[in-house]
Amino acid sequence: MNFFKIVLSAIYPNRCVACGEIIPEEESLCEFCSEFIEVCDSSKLCIKCGSLKKNCFCNKRSFYFDGFVAPFLNDKIARKVVYSFKLNRKERYCRFLAERMAVTVKQCYDVDFDYVTYVPMKISTVFSRGFNQSYLLAKELSKSLDIPLGFRFLKCVKNNKPQHELSGKERFENVKGMYSSVDLPSGANILLVDDIKTTGATLNECAKELYKSGAGSVYCVAALLSDKKKGK
Ligand SMILES: [Zn+2]
Ligand SMILES: [Zn+2]
């Protein structure tokens, strides 16, 4: 480590992204948070509907996307990291999440992706928040997986109610017609990125549009799977 790095790390020590405890330079989480963060075990996940196998609802609804995976479940530690990133745009939170998402994608999908793209945000939200967290995650993923970033493949064309205010069924209705997609190279394999998946309604609608525009396959990845029972 050079002198400036030593001085810098004395003033700004590396901290756990979840609890803020001082940790070694190369780590992202402290020992406690690494032990207790709830990882999303892909063997317990139904990749087709993107819910935990115990909550699988493939028999109730079919999805446009070809798969869904996530590195983390919606527990206290992972949620804190995701929301800190969503609210404060902390770069290292983004890098941490994207790194774990990249590992999950490599482990779970055997697909030659042509593009990484992301769920777009309503223009009013982009203005009030100042950034789209799914875009930032997709940009990091594109770098770490070495897959080109499909910029503005999807556009938000309707101003609907926020999804979190609605029940499971309402969410699927609410997102209908919300997105449009540009023409894609025919048969392109797309990795679609979002921050949190709850019902999958948003990803499903985006996948539908990407297919309409020529995609050959659409596989999804989010940082967090928020899998509640009763399809909420
Ligand atoms: Zn910690
Ligand atoms: Zn399923």
What pLDDT band is residue 70 in, cutting at 50, 70 and 90? very high
Distance (Å) from CA 220 to ligand 2 centroid: 14
Using 50, 70 and 90 to split pLDDT, how confident is the model at 228? low
Res 135: pLDDT: 96
Report whether pLDDT(92) > 50.
yes
The alpha carbon of 213 and the centre of ligand 1 are apart by a number of angstroms equal to 43
Give the strand pairing for 217-225 and 67-69. Answer: parallel
CA-CA distance, 54 to 51, in Å (whole number)? 8
Give SS3 for 90: coil
Measure the CA–CA gap between 60 and 54, rounded to whole angstroms. 14
If pLDDT is split at 50, 70 and 90, which confidence band does 126 have? confident
For residue 60, the CA-to-ligand 2 centroid distance in Å is 9
For position 231, what pLDDT does the model report?
Answer: 39
Ligand with minimal distance to 52 CA: 2
b/e code 129-148 from CB counts within 10 Å (16+ = b): eeebbbbbbbbbbbebbebe
C-alpha distance across the termini of the chain, in Å: 49
All domains in the chain, ordered by first residue: 41-231 (3.40.50.2020)
Instruction: Centre a 10 Å sphere on the Cβ of residue 222 and count the other Cβ atoms it contains.
Output: 30
Q: Please say if the pLDDT value at position 110 is more than 80.
A: yes
Nearest one of 172, 158, 162, 165 to 129, comparing CA atoms = 162
- The CA 127 to ligand 2 mean position distance, Å, reads 36
183 CA from centroid of ligand 1 (Å) = 44
Output the CA 67–ligand 2 centroid distance in Å: 10
Q: What is the pLDDT of residues 24-38, one digit of tens each?
A: 988 889 999 999 999
Mean pLDDT, rounded, for 158-182:
86
- Are 154 and 207 spatial neighbours (Cβ–Cβ below 8 Å)? no
CA-CA-CA-CA torsion sign (136, 138, 144, 149): negative
Ligand nearest to the CA of 231: 2
pLDDT at position 1 = 62
Q: Average pLDDT of 123-130?
A: 85
- Which ligand has the nearest atom to the CA of 65? 2
Phi-psi region of 230 (alpha: psi -120 to 50; beta: other; left: phi over 0): left
pTM of the model: 0.91
Q: Are 154 and 181 in contact (CB under 8 A)?
A: yes
With a pLDDT cut of 70, the percent of the chain lying above it is 97
The confidence score (pLDDT) of residue 204 equals 96
As a whole number, mean pLDDT of residues 128-156 equals 94
Query: Between these two residues, 7 and 102, which has the higher pLDDT value?
Result: 102
Does residue 229 carry a pLDDT above 70?
no
Local confidence band at 227 (pLDDT 50, 70, 90 cut-offs): confident
Q: Tell me the three state secondary structure of residue 88.
A: helix
Quote the ligand 1 centre to 24 CA distance (angstroms). Answer: 12
Res 186 pLDDT > 60? yes
Question: Of the ligands numbered here, which is closest to the C-alpha atom of 32?
Answer: 1
Mean pLDDT of the chain: 91
Question: In Å, how far from its chain's centre is CA 167?
Answer: 21
Ligand 2 mean position to 134 CA, how many Å?
A: 24
User: DSSP states of 157-203 as a string?
Assistant: -S----GGGS-HHHHHHHTTT-EEE----TT-EEEEEEEEESSSHHH
Distance 57 CA to ligand 2 centre (A): 5
Contact 39, 73 (CB under 8 A): yes
Number of the ligand closest to the Cα of 17: 1
Q: Per-residue pLDDT averaged across 206-225, rounded? A: 97
- What mean pLDDT do residues 111-117 have? 98
Task: Choose among 133, 129, 146: nearest CA to 193.
Answer: 133
Ligand 1 centre to CA of 76 (Å) is: 11
Query: Is 230 a residue whose pLDDT tops 50?
Result: no
